[in-house]
Structure 1
Amino acid sequence: MGYKTLCFGLTCILFAYFIYVPIPENVDEPWKVRIVDAVVKTTSLTAMLFENIGLMGYEKLFSTLVKLDYTQPISDENVTVMDTTFTDIPVRLYLPKRKSERQRPAVIFIHGGAFVLGSCRQSPLDLLNRLTANKLDAVVVGVDYRLAPQYQFPTPYEDVISVVKFFLEDKTLAEYGVDPTRICISGDSSGGTLAAGVVQQIQNDPEFKNKFKAQALIYPGLQLVDISMPSHQEYEHGPVLSRNMAIELGCLYLTNDKALTQAMRKNQHMPHGSGHLFKLVNWSTFLPEKYRKQHVYTEPVLGRLNTSFSILLDNRLSPLATNDSQLQNLPLTYVVTCQHDILRDDGLIYVSRLRNAGVKVSHDHMEDGVHGALSFMTLPVYLRLGIRIKDKYINWLEENL
């Protein structure tokens, strides 16, 4: 009892400290964001302490809390919701109930969570996909790929590819009454990473080429090549997603070796032979001038880690580090970025590179936005920012799919 009281007391002290950490002035609903930020920072520090004393891995505490928000597949008067599997991978299907005289569009949604957390069953994403199905009269597929660190790269990516290819088969599309010319893949955060990587692979697969009409990427992380972009520096401590937390969780997608985590903090993680990738993610070339400010570009340091991390050369991890010739084949694209987000510059650079490659791109930049807002658009937090992003996303799909 005394141990639990001590832990509770320490947690309260940490929360009280973090609640007064400064946040950007123009953030929407600043006190709500302060509370979310304080909860995340308190959880992160507690998780790090638990890991250091050998109680549990860093991600376990986050995972436990996120699972409290999982929902059951409850249908309503408009949409039938069911949990099933595609190629043994769990998916949640949203099927409109009203009769349709024509084939329906479809959306494949990939959830975020740094590849180690989350599910399409979380209440905000369940709401998002339910509303998408109802508003667009669309079939929506939420993919519950296996998570790191138990299943590290490329397993989560391959799970998504497997579900996508199964769904894109003619017999599957016919079963669900889907129009094969009106299919979109979308994702938020690391789900956006997976969605972008999957589209690039699918578009270069002769069997499935041109199967996607659109991709929608919501504050995506799109590269691991350079972890010192202006947004990484400006929002190193958040709000909500700090650089350290992103690195701690993100590295679990690749390895349990803490050497990578330490090297990535210093931007010294890329192996020899990866220098050609730098020009593809060079923020001094592609980032709009207003976001460069007074920052001075410095290349990542090569070769400080052994060759076992040559996996970092795999462009499935870094869709941004892809040649223009491959980007030219990509479908209609929608990107949401948030100003106060360490992943901001990934999205901004991708927008620039896609437009340079001739891809039609729609871009919404939330000047008062923070990372992860979609995950906080239901009670008890209910961020207006999450509602706005949800509305913009669904409206774009309605107009373009």
Structure 2
Amino acid sequence: MGAKLLCLFLASALVAYYVYIPIPEDFEEPWKVMLIAAAFRAATHLAEVADQLGLIHHVEALMLITTVEYIAPTSDENVTVMDTEFNNVGVRLYLPRKPSDGLRRAVVYFHGGGWCIGQAGMKPYDRLTRWTSNRLNAVVVSVNYRLAPKYRFPVQFEDVYLVMKFFLQRSVLSQYGVDPDRVCVAGDSAGGNLAAAVAQQLLEDSEVETKLKAQALLYPVLQSLDLNLPSYQENENKPVLSKSYMVKLWSEYFTSDSSLREAMASNRHVPVESSHLFPFVNWSNLLPEELKKGHVYTSPTYGSSELAQKYPGFLDPRAAPLLVSDARLRRLPLTYILTCEHDVLRDDGVMYARRLRAAGVPVTHDHAKDAFHGVMLFVLGPIELAVGHRLVNRYIKWLNENL
């Protein structure tokens, strides 16, 4: 009897450890958020244990979990859905069935997942892109770019850029009945990173005649220089993306070398010869007072040049779009940026919005004070959140009014 009670006590303690975390007062449905956070924490812990035991790489373990969320391309009465390839890169294509008075709008979407996890066919992404196509009567292209650890930077960027260039050809736009003046690139999290980088690169590509009408960046990750921003400090253990796991995803994007992850974790990975880049991410100048919250900016602590020489990607604007000059920002299209208060990536988006506005780019910065990272994925089944629906609706409304 005593052994059973002990087992029950230990099991209860374990469940309580995973389920209970302090939830900010402004969160709706706090118990749902606790369960979501617990599920993500358990999944990442199990993946890390499997990795340490040599059974499977932690990213591959998480990908096994995401396959449960996969659904085959399924058409309905409103949208025809198919998997195909653009420029030898896999895409899921959504073609509206409703008649159109003229040429249609189009959105090219890049899913999130830290450049390591996820796919266009996951239920939440399929639902988001399907809703976008149906409600806007628009063509939507959702891209299945290759993932780390099998493929490192810049492969992910190159895949999405190849798709974008292919789709923007006049002949391809004509094939799908798309208005070349009404095309948007969009993405969430790491997908927002890729969308921002693609929009920047298109400005430098003389082969691309079609210009983007808009970019929509949903809680994007935009820089890897300063991983100790106020948002990283305040939201270190908030659902569903912890600081430690974001650092792990950043380093995994470039290499399996643990020395880069360790340097990033201590914010000592940038060499002194790259000090000229820090003004682009100096939060003391780029954050509003209400987000500084008493934090005091300190000068960067520089690291060894060796890491930057081995893995220059973390200093490359294709991986860190905040690192481009104001002159390049000036030519970017109409922009929507969603940031969430309780997100380690919050300040990346806030700083980008500030810099874009200063460069004269029309920006809608939608800041959700009651939301956490990835919240727009929670719009289905038992983990459905009202705030997720609300932000999805705001995003699609902005597209409808501006694209």
Q: TM-score, normalised by structure 1?
A: 0.95
Which residue identity lines up with residue 396 of structure 1 in the other structure? Answer: W
What CA distance in whole angstroms lies between the structure 2 residues aligned with 1:87 and 1:13?
A: 52
1:98 — aligned with what? 98
Mark the CA change 1:10 to 1:347 in structure 2 (over 3 Å): closer, same or farther: farther
1:343 to 342, 345, 362: 345
1:63 has 2:63 as partner:
yes
Percent of counterpart pairs with the same letter?
Answer: 48
Name the SS for the 1:251 alignment partner.
helix
Name the SS for the 1:274 alignment partner.
helix
1:46 — aligned with what? 46
What CA distance in whole angstroms lies between the structure 1 residues aligned with 2:39 and 2:135?
A: 33
What CA distance in whole angstroms lies between the structure 1 residues aligned with 2:180 and 2:248?
A: 39
1:378 to 380, 392, 397: 380
Name the SS for the 1:238 alignment partner.
coil
2:239 — aligned with what? 239
1:395 — aligned with what? 397
What CA distance in whole angstroms lies between the structure 1 residues aligned with 2:317 and 2:188?
A: 19
1:5 — aligned with what? none
Does structure 1 retain, via aligned residues, the 8 Å contact 2:200–2:332? yes
Q: Structure 1: 5+ residue runs without aligned partners?
A: 1-8
Does structure 2 retain, via aligned residues, the 8 Å contact 1:124–1:378? yes
Name the SS for the 1:126 alignment partner.
helix
1:129 has 2:129 as partner:
yes
Q: TM-score, normalised by structure 2?
A: 0.95
Which residue identity lines up with residue 318 of structure 1 in the other structure? Answer: A
What CA distance in whole angstroms lies between the structure 1 residues aligned with 2:134 and 2:275?
A: 47
1:333 — aligned with what? 335
Name the SS for the 2:273 alignment partner.
coil
Which residue identity lines up with residue 241 of structure 1 in the other structure? Answer: L
Give CA deviations for 1:91-131 in whole Å, capped at 9, x if unaligned: 00100112223110100000000000001111111111111
Does structure 1 retain, via aligned residues, the 8 Å contact 2:224–2:315? no
Alpha-carbon offset, residue 67 of structure 1: 1.2
Give CA deviations for 1:178-236 in whole Å, capped at 9, x if unaligned: 00000000000000000000000002222326610000000001100100000000011
Matches within 5 A, 1:135-284: 135-208=135-208, 211-284=211-284
What CA distance in whole angstroms lies between the structure 2 residues aligned with 1:189 and 1:12?
A: 34
Q: Structure 2: 5+ residue runs without aligned partners?
A: 1-8
Give CA deviations for 1:66-87 in whole Å, capped at 9, x if unaligned: 1110111110001100000001
1:117 has 2:117 as partner:
yes
Does structure 1 retain, via aligned residues, the 8 Å contact 2:110–2:195? yes
Alpha-carbon offset, residue 14 of structure 1: 4.1
Mark the CA change 1:172 to 1:210 in structure 2 (over 3 Å): closer, same or farther: closer
Name the SS for the 1:380 alignment partner.
helix
Alpha-carbon offset, residue 16 of structure 1: 2.9
Which residue identity lines up with residue 156 of structure 1 in the other structure? Answer: Q
Does structure 2 retain, via aligned residues, the 8 Å contact 1:225–1:278? yes
Alpha-carbon offset, residue 11 of structure 1: 8.9
Mark the CA change 1:11 to 1:375 in structure 2 (over 3 Å): closer, same or farther: farther
1:317 to 295, 299, 319: 319
Which residue identity lines up with residue 61 of structure 1 in the other structure? Answer: A
